[in-house]
């Protein structure tokens, strides 16, 4: 049996800041090492998104203009995106994508764009400032350190039911105040990490790949395959 992972690249033609598509390339890179096929498809404006058609999703970052365009289309996909998330399928949402999964995003001009409230964080405006630079965090659960690059004006505050992807060791993270970075809900990861996060953090990528596979093939024992893939980090 050849296993495969079907990736939805949400608004990949509009939301792809700093090569967030590299998350998909990285997934394919590790999947090839264990003979798993990865297919991907951009799901953009006016396209149907059906949760059952995909096993993994990437929603990249974007400029405020693109976010405004995407915000108008998102209500059409809201129910299926929430279904996808609640089915425990991995979704990597970066920066602008992360903001849009939450309650709202206030852009640099003060315009409030509604999110889809798939997660309970919200994003306020920073006044004439951006958080730009390299970032390093530590994941509380695994102790692993993740590296990336952030560039955002929005400042994000987590909902009560969300926990952070990690504690900020270097850089700003969600809001520059509470030392949190990113948000985790089921297998959905919101993060400010470009770089992209999966290319730079092999442990994280491999973990997310096996989450997708275990979810899709619940009866398969992945113990052996897990020993065949080695994480690379930059």
Rounded to a whole number of angstroms, the minimum distance from the CB of residue 159 to ligand GLN is 18
> Per the structure block, which two tokens stand in for 154?
């929005």
What residues from 66 to 105 belong to the interface with ligand GLN (CB under 6 A)?
Answer: 67, 95-96
Cα distances (angstroms) measured from residue 124 to each of 66, 103, 106, 110: 18, 10, 5, 9
194 classed as catalytic: yes
Site string for ligand GLN, 24-63 (x = CB under 6 A): -------------------------------------xxx
Rounded to a whole number of angstroms, the minimum distance from the CB of residue 84 to ligand GLN is 21
The helix (run of H) or strand (run of E) holding residue 224 is helix 223-226
Round to whole Å and give the CA distance between 75 and 59: 15
95 classed as catalytic: yes
Can residue 121 be called a binding residue for ligand GLN (CB under 6 A)? no
> Per the structure block, which two tokens stand in for 55?
């096993």
Residue 130: other Cβ atoms inside 10 A: 13
Out of 9, 152, 185, 194, the active site residue is 194
Round to whole Å and give the CA distance between 191 and 193: 5
**Number of shown-chain residues binding ligand GLN (CB under 6 A):** 12
Active-site residue list: 95, 194
The annotation places the binding site for substrate at: 130
Given the rule CB under 6 A, which residues bind ligand GLN? 17, 61-64, 67, 95-96, 151-154
Binding residues, as ranges, are 130
């Amino acid at each position: 049996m050849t296993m495969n992972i079907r990736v939805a690249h949400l608004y990949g033609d509009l939301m792809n800041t700093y090569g967030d598509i590299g998350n998909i390339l990285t997934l394919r890179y590790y999947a090839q090492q264990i003979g798993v096929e990865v297919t991907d498809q951009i799901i953009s404006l006016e396209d149907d998104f059906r949760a059952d058609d995909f096993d993994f999703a990437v929603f990249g970052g974007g400029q405020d203009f693109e976010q405004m365009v995407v915000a108008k289309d998102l209500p059409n996909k809201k129910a299926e995106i929430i279904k996808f998330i609640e089915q425990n399928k991995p979704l990597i949402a970066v920066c602008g994508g992360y903001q849009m999964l939450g309650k709202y995003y206030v852009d640099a001009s003060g315009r409030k764009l509604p999110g889809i409230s798939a997660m309970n964080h919200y994003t306020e405006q920073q006044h004439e400032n951006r958080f730009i630079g390299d970032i390093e965090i530590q994941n509380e659960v695994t102790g692993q350190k993740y590296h990336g690059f952030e560039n955002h004006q929005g400042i994000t505050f987590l909902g009560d039911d969300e926990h952070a992807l990690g504690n900020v060791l270097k850089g700003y993270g969600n809001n520059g105040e509470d030392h949190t970075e990113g948000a985790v809900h089921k297998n959905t990861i919101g993060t400010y990490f470009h770089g992209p996060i999966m290319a730079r953090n092999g442990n994280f990528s491999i973990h997310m790949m096996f989450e997708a596979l275990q979810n899709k093939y619940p009866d398969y024992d992945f113990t052996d395959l897990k020993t065949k893939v080695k994480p690379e980090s930059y």
